[in-house]
């Protein structure tokens, strides 16, 4: 029994039934499943918005899906979903509501936290962002010397960096190409150096993005950026107002830093860091693509929110994706999940999902405070597809690990490409389809032999197949489609956290390292004694100081 009175997840009849079903299925072959059901390619598909989802190449039968849905019902995934959309404080360890869905709600929606409708605040900030973005884009907002702003540098880390940095790459072809937009996150001074070394400070706007405005990496970089700007411009503090704006929930810390709170774009404690890029945290993106495109993106998010909130279980796409992850992680011992986009513009997409998924579901303690004794979140990894094909796909095809993968592709190349480059798109997508086919169906020894391959090479050239993949296909990559994709993954992560009974919205696991870094820093810089420092770190710190000639 859980501390909250619920039956332990892995003792529920629904879990036991899935375990038994897994045993009965044994080494079920995708070749057999397709042979037995010629309609599988059309039957095992779903649609949400512009996204066509094919899950036919999964090691599942109708019975598997029935049992997974029974598990979702038993764990009351939809009950928790409704509590989230309703503004209840489902982030139990921080006693907070979880309402990133309110960030993309239409103007007339009513969503209450502690009895207050938060939608008007959301739209007031969006309007303020739009006004500012327009002024920067039009050249009306100038720097301290009167020069037009041509460079935007977002300084933030984690959720205050990964979202806008990823989305800027994804939507590059929609951006104002006259603007240079860069993202600095690493406290390694090299990051800020490379981002600013060729910029004219008089034309540069720094956006300091930090929910708490206490994150040491961000505040350190922001301070260095301010020093750089004031030194280069030979200006006093008054120049800060024209070159620094803040995105934060912490007005006190923002003004302490020297940024006028009139130039602060706020969000709220019911927006988790990794769920924040469609809040004020997206300001750099909004400046790059313009407020209208940003709104289209929010509408894409909202479309999938509504689908998740209202679609029946059988056609609910995030629910399905979450349950498939449970199937592999808990019943096939899969440890990781690959996300493989066939779009150059999605080069940072998987890095973004790593925080979304791993910071949310990398937990061994349940919502009831008890340790779980089932697997939780997977390692999420991947890079754009064709590059991966010439690197790590070998292991997915012929390695010893089961790695479920999502393949994401688009029918149309982006409009901006020349006709010659657009012609390459069929080749890109041929690779996409070939890979999911090879992963699913492999190549039997007999098929290899039939090609005249010498017997000693047959085992090497055989592909067992049976590697599960989801295909997500859309016509084209637009701001709306990006919003749809991100919301899809957000809710997939939600579903898994609900099934595993963990709090997907806290992140206590990052705290210890932060505290220890603060303790160790004086030892590195001043040789200060750190009481209780372990023997290994003591020697390493001494070695570091020796190497630095201290
Ligand atoms: O890594 C922990 C974390 O709190 C993330 O959840 C968050 O996105 C990141 O740090 C940055 O935090 P902040 O926006 O407060 O600077």
Tell me: pLDDT of 300 over 90: yes
Q: What is the mean pLDDT of residues 125-130?
A: 98
Q: Distance between CA 386 and CA 93 in Å, rounded?
A: 42
Predicted confidence band at 158 (pLDDT cuts at 50, 70, 90)? Answer: very high
Per the listing, tokens 């502690």 go with 114
Is residue 492 in contact with ligand 1, taking CB distance under 6 Å? no
Q: Please name the residue whose Cα sits nearest to atom 3 of ligand 1.
A: 158
For ligand 1, mutation pick of 250, 253, 273, 513 (most atoms within 8 Å of CB): 273
Q: Mean pLDDT across the stretch 432-460?
A: 98
Q: Whose CA is nearest to atom 10 of ligand 1?
A: 158
101 CB near ligand 1 (under 6 Å): no
Q: Which of 20, 193, 401, 514 does the annotation list as catalytic?
A: 514
**Catalytic residue (choose from 27, 390, 451, 455):** 390
- Residue 385, pLDDT score: 87
Q: Output the pLDDT for position 2.
A: 72
Report the pLDDT averaged over residues 387-398: 97
Flag whether the pTM goes above 0.95.
yes
Reported ipTM? 0.97
DSSP secondary structure string for all residues of 110-178: --EETTEE-HHHHHHHHHHHHHHHHHHHHT-SB-TTSPBP-EEEEE--GGGTHHHHHHHHHTGGGS-TT
Residue 6 pLDDT greater than 90, yes or no: no
Using DSSP's 3-state secondary structure scheme, residue 245 falls into strand
Question: Which of helix, strand or coil describes residue 375?
Answer: coil
Give 84's pLDDT tier (boundaries 50, 70, 90): very high
Whether residue 115 contacts residue 125, with contact meaning beta carbons closer than 8 Å, is answered with no
370 and 2 Cβ atoms separated by less than 8 Å = yes
Any catalytic annotation for residue 490? no
For the cut 80, the answer to whether the pLDDT of residue 408 exceeds it is yes
- Cα(94)–Cα(430) distance, integer angstroms: 47
Ligand 1 binding pocket mutation candidate from 211, 221, 275 (most atoms within 8 A of CB):
211
- Flag whether pLDDT at 4 surpasses 90: no
Residues 16-66: tens digit of each pLDDT: 999 999 999 998 999 999 999 999 999 999 999 999 999 999 999 999 999
Q: Ligand 1 centre and the CA of 213: distance in Å?
A: 9
For 459, the token pair is 């085992």
Mean pLDDT in residue range 372-397: 96
In order, the DSSP letters of 34-61 are: HHH-TTHHHHTEEEETTEEEE-TTSS--
Rounded percentage of the chain residues whose pLDDT exceeds 90 = 98
Active site residue 193: no
- Mean pLDDT over each residue of the chain, to the nearest integer: 97
242-276 pLDDT, tens digit per residue, is: 999 999 999 999 999 989 999 999 999 999 999 99
Distance between Cα 432 and ligand 1 center (Å): 35
User: Is 470 in a helix, a strand, or coil?
Assistant: strand
Ligand 1 within 6 A of 354 CB?
no
Q: Measured in angstroms, how far is the CA atom of residue 361 from the centroid of ligand 1?
A: 16
Q: Could you tell me the CA-to-CA distances from 165 to 7, 207, 337, 402 in Å, in that order?
A: 42, 13, 22, 31
The whole-number average pLDDT for the span 224-240 is 96
Choosing from 14, 266, 359, 490, which is the catalytic residue?
359
Q: Is 128 a catalytic residue?
A: no
Q: Which atom of ligand 1 is nearest to the CA of 157?
A: 11
**Residue 112 CB partners (closer than 8 Å, separation 6+):** 87, 118
Q: CB of 479 within 8 A of CB of 289? A: yes
């Amino acid at each position: 029994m859980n501390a909250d009175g619920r039956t332990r997840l892995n003792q529920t009849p629904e879990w036991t039934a899935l375990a038994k079903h897994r045993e009965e299925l044994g080494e079920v072959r995708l070749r057999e499943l397709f042979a037995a059901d010629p309609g599988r390619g059309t039957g095992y598909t779903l649609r949400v918005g512009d996204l066509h989802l094919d899950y036919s190449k999964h090691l599942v039968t109708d019975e598997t899906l029935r049992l997974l849905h029974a598990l979702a019902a038993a764990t009351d995934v939809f009950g928790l979903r409704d509590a989230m959309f309703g503004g209840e404080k489902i982030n139990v360890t921080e006693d907070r509501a979880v309402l990133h869905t309110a960030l993309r709600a239409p103007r007339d929606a009513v969503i209450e936290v502690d009895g207050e409708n938060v939608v008007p605040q959301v739209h007031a900030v969006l309007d303020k962002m739009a006004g500012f973005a327009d002024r920067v884009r039009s050249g009306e907002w100038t720097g301290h010397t009167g020069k037009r702003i041509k460079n935007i540098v977002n300084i933030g880390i984690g959720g205050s960096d990964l979202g806008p940095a990823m989305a800027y790459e994804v939507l590059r072809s929609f951006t104002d190409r006259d603007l240079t937009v860069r993202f600095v996150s690493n406290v390694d001074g090299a990051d800020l150096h490379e981002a600013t070394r060729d910029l004219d400070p008089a034309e540069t706007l720094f956006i300091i993005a930090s929910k708490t405005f206490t994150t040491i990496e961000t505040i350190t970089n922001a301070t260095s950026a301010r020093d750089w700007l004031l030194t280069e411009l030979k200006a006093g503090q008054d120049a800060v107002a024209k070159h620094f704006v803040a995105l934060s929930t912490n007005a006190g810390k923002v003004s302490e830093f020297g940024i006028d709170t009139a130039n602060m774009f706020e969000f709220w404690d019911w927006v988790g860091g990794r769920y924040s890029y469609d809040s004020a945290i997206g300001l750099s993106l909004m400046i790059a693509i313009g407020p209208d495109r940003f709104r289209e993106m929010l509408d894409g998010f909202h479309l999938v929110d509504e689908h998740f909130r209202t679609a029946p279980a059988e056609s609910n796409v995030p629910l399905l994706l979450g349950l498939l992850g449970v199937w592999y992680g808990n019943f096939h011992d899969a440890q990781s999940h690959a996300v493989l986009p066939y779009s150059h513009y999605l080069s940072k997409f998987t890095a973004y999902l790593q925080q979304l998924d791993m910071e949310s579901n990398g937990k061994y303690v349940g919502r009831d405070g008890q340790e779980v004794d089932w697997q939780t979140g997977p390692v999420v990894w991947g890079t754009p597809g064709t590059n991966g094909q010439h690197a790590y796909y070998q292991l997915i095809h012929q390695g010893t690990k089961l790695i479920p993968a999502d393949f994401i592709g688009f029918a149309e190349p982006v409009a901006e490409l020349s006709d010659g480059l657009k012609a390459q798109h069929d080749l890109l997508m041929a690779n996409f389809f070939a890979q999911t086919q090879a992963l699913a169906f492999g190549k039997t020894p007999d098929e290899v032999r039939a090609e005249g391959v010498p017997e000693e090479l047959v085992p090497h050239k055989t592909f067992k197949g049976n590697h599960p993949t989801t295909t997500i296909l859309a016509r084209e990559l637009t701001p709306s489609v990006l919003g749809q994709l991100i919301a899809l993954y957000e809710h997939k992560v939600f579903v898994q956290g609900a099934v595993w009974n963990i709090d997907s919205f806290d992140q206590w696991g990052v705290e210890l390292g932060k505290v220890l870094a603060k303790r160790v820093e004086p030892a590195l810089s001043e040789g200060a004694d750190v009481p209780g420092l372990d023997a290994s770190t003591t020697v390493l710190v001494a070695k570091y100081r020796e190497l630095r000639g201290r």
